[in-house]
Structure 1
Amino acid sequence: MTASNSNHTKGLLITTIGGMTLTIDIPLIRLADGDAWSILMLRTGTTVAASLTIWLAWRMLRGNAPALIPGRAGLMVAALYAASSVTFIMAVYNTATANLVFLLAFNTMFAALLSWLFLKERPRPATLIAMALMLTGMLIIVYDGIGTGNLVGDMFALASAFILATAITISRATGKDMGFTALVAVLLPFVISVFMVAKTGYRVEAPWWILFNGAVIMPISFFCLATGPKYISGPEVAMFYLLETVLAPVWVWMIFAEVPTAASMTGGAILVVTLIAHSLWQLHDGRRRRAALAVRHPA
């Protein structure tokens, strides 16, 4: 096996671990059975503690740990990730799991739109078609939410997707290493949640689930998914984020018997199929372009 193939295999393995790990985030939040602010406090607190421990160990053992928050751009990205942590938890408690993960998948198209507007990276016609189809799926889910009382939660999910897309766009524009930024950024929602818990009271029936989530699941999933692009292409990495979209509702259905509505399944199917088709097209197009470039400029 060549070095290139070996690196590609390594990248696929790393991102598979990250994507699969992320799929149990929402089920663990639900299993903890607590109010939103108490869950947010435990989840973010343990994530910050685990991340700082990993960073300090990296710095002591190897000495080349990346900056936790690289400059002003890092502060902005950290603020965005902090806001997304809050909107995500609020969405978990105000809409169905299927709605949440399907709408969160829309961050891919939000990122494409923001890159077009601010980075002048004009989407190709296939991307514009995919964005239109995903908008259709999103509207189906949100319209259903009006009748089922999930509209507020759906709006939180969309806000979370847009905030994450904004953070990704800024990270791309700066080209700085933001690997630990998303993890330590949850310090702000941790402080806010501590304040809110002090006012409203603490309630988590099974805290070990959320402690395990924040201390193990979050660091592993985000670290692996952030490391993947070192070895495989961006479209390939993006496909592994879809694992949460596809599998999280399945785990919730198996554990809690929460059956998605017909509208949610219809809109979600449109989102998932469109994302997969668009990602596969990006992979094919990228390989075709690299092959054409190799022919034009042979070694």
Structure 2
Amino acid sequence: MKRIQNMPSGRPLGLLMAGTGMFLVSSDSLFIRIAQPSSGWTIAFMAGAWSVPVVAIAAWRTYGNQLFYEIRKHLKILCFTGLLASFSTTAFTISVTLTSVSNVVAILAAAPILAAFFARLTIREYTSRRTWKSIAGTAVGVLVIVGGSMSGGGIGGDLLALAGISGYAFNLTIWRRYPDLPRILVVLAAAIFIVIVTSIPAAPSTIDGDAFLATLAMGASFGPLARFLLASATRYAPAAEVSLFTPIETVCASIWAWLFFSEIPTNATIIGAIVIVCAVTYGITGPASEVVPELDPHP
């Protein structure tokens, strides 16, 4: 990939989008839990099936008669990013059903590191020292939360979670590289490919009423809006900074469990959550000279 050009200004807006998007994504852990014992394939398929008509209508209202022109114009990159998004979403959903939640949320801490690596490798975007320090802080916070509850076994689920988060991190770099790529079409492509990829192993006829409503909420509202915000955030903020909010999902997942399942957070969870919030706050604040990524001196 070439180095990014003509990136819009508005870093605070990008960070707000990233934080809001990741907060919405954190609800997935709640809805997946409600939808079980349905399989991860089925949950992902139903969520994607709900997303397609909702996002298609939104895209039509946005572009009108120009919709198919925009699709043809960006077809190749839409197919690539949509397939990658479907893979990462499906892999992550299934991983939750194959390994412990503690293992999965620990793997989330790798997202900012992977995003920084992919951004440097493909679009020559450096990550600021302050962001690297913040990444280290969030990783420490996640380890504090899950350190006492990491389980053995479930290696397949762990690898799926790692593959899923890698796909997400690489997609952030793609979205960062193409600021003019229509974000609503990115969300639509992801939903379509999720349905295609999961259609064969899914068993939608087996879901109950709770799973029906949970996947409806995931697919028709929370999921599409979250993906739109995260994809849009990369127009204004570096990929590494956008992914810096990923460990916030760990904090929010604990809050959802407390509110809806009366699971009182442990002391380790509370301490780790404080560390994560402080680390993210540190990473997105401070003098401009410290938070703006360094540029490659040899583009």
| Shared fold per TM-score greater than 0.5 | yes
Larger radius of gyration: 1
Uncovered stretches (5+) of structure 1, i.e. residues with no partner: 1-6, 290-299
Please give the per-residue CA displacement for 1:188-235, whole angstroms capped at 9, x wherever unaligned.
33223221135x9733451112112201111222223444566x6558
Q: TM-score, normalised by structure 1?
A: 0.72
Structure 2 CA distance for partners of 1:18 and 1:168, relative to 1, 3 Å: closer
2:87 is matched with: 83
Letter of the structure 2 residue corresponding to residue 117 of structure 1: L
2:195 is matched with: 190
C-alpha separation in 1, matches of 2:162 and 2:222: 23
1:37 is matched with: 41
Structure 2 CA distance for partners of 1:50 and 1:108, relative to 1, 3 Å: same
2:251 is matched with: 246
C-alpha separation in 2, matches of 1:62 and 1:190: 25
1:28 is matched with: 31
Letter of the structure 2 residue corresponding to residue 27 of structure 1: L
Question: Would you say the 8 A contact 2:111–2:243 is kept in 1?
Answer: no
Structure 2 CA distance for partners of 1:283 and 1:249, relative to 1, 3 Å: farther
**Most deviating of 173-182 and 23-32:** 173-182
Match of 1:104 among 99, 105, 108: 108
1:203 is matched with: 207
2:118 is matched with: 114
Letter of the structure 1 residue corresponding to residue 43 of structure 2: I
Question: Would you say the 8 A contact 1:20–1:244 is kept in 2?
Answer: yes
Letter of the structure 1 residue corresponding to residue 113 of structure 2: M
| Cα deviation, residue 8, structure 1 | 8.9
| Cα deviation, residue 258, structure 1 | 4.8
Q: TM-score, normalised by structure 2?
A: 0.72
Letter of the structure 1 residue corresponding to residue 229 of structure 2: C
1:277 is matched with: 282
**Most deviating of 94-103 and 58-67:** 58-67
For the pair 1:48 / 2:66, whether they are aligned, the reply is no
Question: Would you say the 8 A contact 1:98–1:249 is kept in 2?
Answer: no
1:293 is matched with: none
Query: When you count helix as a share of all residues, which structure comes out higher?
Result: 1
Match of 1:157 among 158, 161, 183: 161
Please give the per-residue CA displacement for 1:47-85, whole angstroms capped at 9, x wherever unaligned.
122111211222228879954882433322222111101
| Cα deviation, residue 110, structure 1 | 0.9
**Most deviating of 9-18 and 76-85:** 9-18
Among all aligned residue pairs of Structure 1 and Structure 2, give the percentage whose two residues are the same amino acid: 24
Query: What SS does structure 1 have at the residue aligned with 2:78?
Result: helix
| Cα deviation, residue 88, structure 1 | 1.2
C-alpha separation in 1, matches of 2:233 and 2:156: 34
| Cα deviation, residue 249, structure 1 | 1.9
Matched pairs, number: 281
Structure 2 CA distance for partners of 1:72 and 1:10, relative to 1, 3 Å: closer
Question: Would you say the 8 A contact 2:106–2:146 is kept in 1?
Answer: no
Letter of the structure 1 residue corresponding to residue 200 of structure 2: F
Structure 2 CA distance for partners of 1:102 and 1:271, relative to 1, 3 Å: farther
Question: Would you say the 8 A contact 1:105–1:271 is kept in 2?
Answer: no
For the pair 1:220 / 2:200, whether they are aligned, the reply is no
Structure 2 CA distance for partners of 1:177 and 1:213, relative to 1, 3 Å: same
